[in-house]
Amino acid sequence: MSLKQQLTDDMKAAMKGGDKHSLGVIRLINAAIKQREVDERIELDDTAVIAVLDKMVKQRKDSVTQYEAANREDLASIERDEIVVIERYLPAKMDEAAISAAIAAAIAETGAASAADMGKLMGVLKPKLAGQADMGLVSKLVKQALAG
């Protein structure tokens, strides 16, 4: 079952079950997916849907940071609750050891040796790790691997 179909099924289940919170977040997800499809005139596959979900999580994490800085814990809590619902549809995150192993494999594949090769290395890693790893952490680990 595709991710979009799962979202549709979960939306129907939330409507029938009266889960207003999940229903609202799933509708936001579907709206973001539909917006991207209309803007780019394409049909999104699961990989592209995961990219949309990653972006939504990142936006909400940024909002949480800003709300906490402004002492608005009520709004930060709402954003955290939305993150929980969105993350249900994302694949399990890789741990640091798995990311390091993927980086080592990519270095062997590309022959990257210095910081100048970081762009080439990230170009190989990004499609492989999209949705499975925090790309900020991947970038930090790539810098460490190429520096040392």
- pLDDT tens, position by position, 31-77: 999 999 999 999 999 888 988 998 999 999 999 999 999 999 999 99
Q: Cβ(109)–Cβ(120) under 8 Å?
A: no
Residue 27 has pLDDT above 80, yes or no: yes
Q: How far apart are CA 59 and CA 29, in angstroms?
A: 13
Buried b (16+ CB within 10 A) or exposed e, 24-43: ebbeebeebbeebbeeeeee
* pLDDT tens-digit series, residues 72-111: 999 999 999 999 999 999 888 888 888 888 888 888 888 8
